[in-house]
């Protein structure tokens, strides 16, 4: 058995290697400043923080360390969202990767975890939207400057995720028991072929059923909806198998329009990790 931190790093590597993954960097596609090799280095760099999580460290500290390591490359943010899923999953897997253990870990987060989460934003430029009205003081882009406001309100990391859940599908996982991550793991298990092919089809299935919240933030909800509708059309007609060129064209088009469904990639990485841990995906 590979230890959880190794599986988490491997999940990041398999995720970025899945191709085609429309709109994202994959092993056949670089964006202009963000290349495949930056994701490899990001995964390698994240490992020490993931190991902290495996060994039971506080989620905030492990996450900040993972993000600091991930950021030690020149491409910018590669896997911030994926780590926000993988750190709690890896911590749970250090004990037992089951919904009750995971839930108790999330509910056990503290204000200090939330502070470390805010500190993590100082390591790398993360694409986030404007905070909701009245929550400007808690804008993550303030980094550690927001910590006194966090402390004053007594918000734990789970509280912070709860506030972001309506507009961010990574945060939403924290308040739904990682619902879509577990669904992704099932699909990866049920798919055929190499892990990287399973990653690609699972990515497309997830994109097909719910607009990507990263796309919605960077562009708008209309664009996110359009991308999902087109992914649904490709997925429904099994285009990865039957009309792969159509998926490649869609991938190229999204890249050229600067549309990157990053949240969907994060969920795919989480699903890969769960399937590796449950030994339903063997490498």
C-alpha span between 86 and 78 (Å, rounded): 14
Of the candidates 132, 133, 196, the residue with the CA atom closest to the CA atom of residue 166: 132
Q: Which two tokens stand for residue 78?
A: 């590669």
C-alpha span between 75 and 125 (Å, rounded): 10
Site string for its own copies, 263-282 (x = CB under 8 A): -------------------x
Q: Is 35 in the site for its own copies (CB under 8 A)?
A: yes
Q: Which stretch binds its own copies (CB under 8 A): 12-20, 89-97, 116-124, 151-159?
A: 12-20
C-alpha span between 71 and 93 (Å, rounded): 24
* Closer by beta carbon to its own copies, 118 or else 203: 203
* Closer by beta carbon to its own copies, 164 or else 196: 196
In the set 38, 65, 119, 217, which binds its own copies (CB under 8 A)? 38
In the set 47, 119, 172, 180, which binds its own copies (CB under 8 A)? 47
In the set 4, 20, 25, 41, which binds its own copies (CB under 8 A)? 41
CA distances 181 to 2, 263, 275, Å, are: 20, 11, 10
Q: Is 20 in the site for its own copies (CB under 8 A)?
A: no
Q: Is 9 in the site for its own copies (CB under 8 A)?
A: yes
- For the bound state, the minimum distance from the C-beta of residue 48 to its own copies, rounded and expressed in Å, comes to 9
Query: Which residues, including other chains, have CB under 8 Å from residue 242's CB and lie 6 or more apart?
Result: none
CA distances 237 to 234, 243, 248, Å, are: 5, 9, 15
CA distances 61 to 114, 148, 150, 191, Å, are: 9, 18, 16, 35
* Closer by beta carbon to its own copies, 37 or else 136: 37
In the set 4, 10, 23, 85, which binds its own copies (CB under 8 A)? 10
Q: Which stretch binds its own copies (CB under 8 A): 5-13, 83-91, 148-156, 177-185?
A: 5-13
- For the bound state, the minimum distance from the C-beta of residue 283 to its own copies, rounded and expressed in Å, comes to 5
Residues 58-87 that bind its own copies (CB under 8 A): 72-74
Are 137 and 149 in contact, with CB atoms under 8 Å apart? yes
Q: Is 14 in the site for its own copies (CB under 8 A)?
A: yes
* Closer by beta carbon to its own copies, 156 or else 196: 196
C-alpha span between 74 and 38 (Å, rounded): 7
Phi and psi, residue 128, nearest 5°? -130, 160
C-alpha span between 261 and 22 (Å, rounded): 8
In the chain, how long is the greatest CA-to-CA distance? 56
Of the candidates 140, 39, 87, 81, the residue with the CA atom closest to the CA atom of residue 261: 81
Q: Is 260 in the site for its own copies (CB under 8 A)?
A: no
Q: How many residues bind its own copies (CB under 8 A)?
A: 27
Q: Which stretch binds its own copies (CB under 8 A): 6-14, 119-127, 146-154, 167-175?
A: 6-14
Which positions lie near its own copies, rule CB under 8 A? Answer: 2, 6, 9-10, 13-14, 17, 27-28, 30, 35-38, 40-41, 44-45, 47, 72-74, 194-196, 282-283
């Amino acid at each position: 058995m590979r230890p959880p931190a190794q599986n988490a790093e491997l999940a990041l590597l398999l995720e970025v290697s899945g191709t085609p993954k429309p709109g994202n960097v994959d092993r056949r596609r670089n964006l202009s400043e963000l290349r495949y090799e930056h994701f490899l280095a990001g995964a390698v760099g994240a490992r020490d923080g993931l190991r902290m999580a495996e060994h039971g460290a506080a989620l905030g500290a492990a996450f900040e360390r993972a993000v600091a390591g991930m950021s030690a490359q020149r491409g910018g943010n590669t896997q911030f969202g994926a780590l926000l899923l993988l750190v709690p999953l890896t911590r749970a897997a250090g004990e037992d990767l089951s919904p009750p253990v995971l839930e108790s870990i999330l509910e056990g987060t503290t204000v200090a975890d939330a502070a470390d989460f805010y500190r993590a934003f100082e390591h790398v430029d993360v694409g986030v939207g404007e905070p909701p009205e009245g929550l400007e003081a808690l804008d993550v882009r303030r980094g550690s400057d927001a910590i006194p406001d966090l402390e004053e309100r007594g918000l734990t990391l789970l509280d912070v995720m709860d506030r972001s859940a309506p507009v961010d599908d990574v945060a939403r996982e924290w308040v739904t028991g990682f619902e879509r991550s577990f669904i992704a793991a099932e699909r990866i298990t049920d798919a055929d072929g190499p892990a990287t092919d399973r990653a690609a089809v699972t990515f497309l299935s997830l994109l097909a059923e719910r607009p990507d919240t990263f796309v919605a933030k960077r562009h708008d909800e209309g664009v996110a909806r359009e991308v999902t509708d087109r992914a649904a059309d490709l997925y429904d007609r099994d285009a990865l198998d039957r009309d792969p060129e159509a998926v490649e064209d869609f991938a190229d088009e999204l890249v050229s329009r600067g549309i990157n469904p990053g949240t969907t990639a994060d969920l795919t990485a989480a699903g890969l990790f769960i399937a590796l841990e449950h030994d339903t995906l063997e490498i």
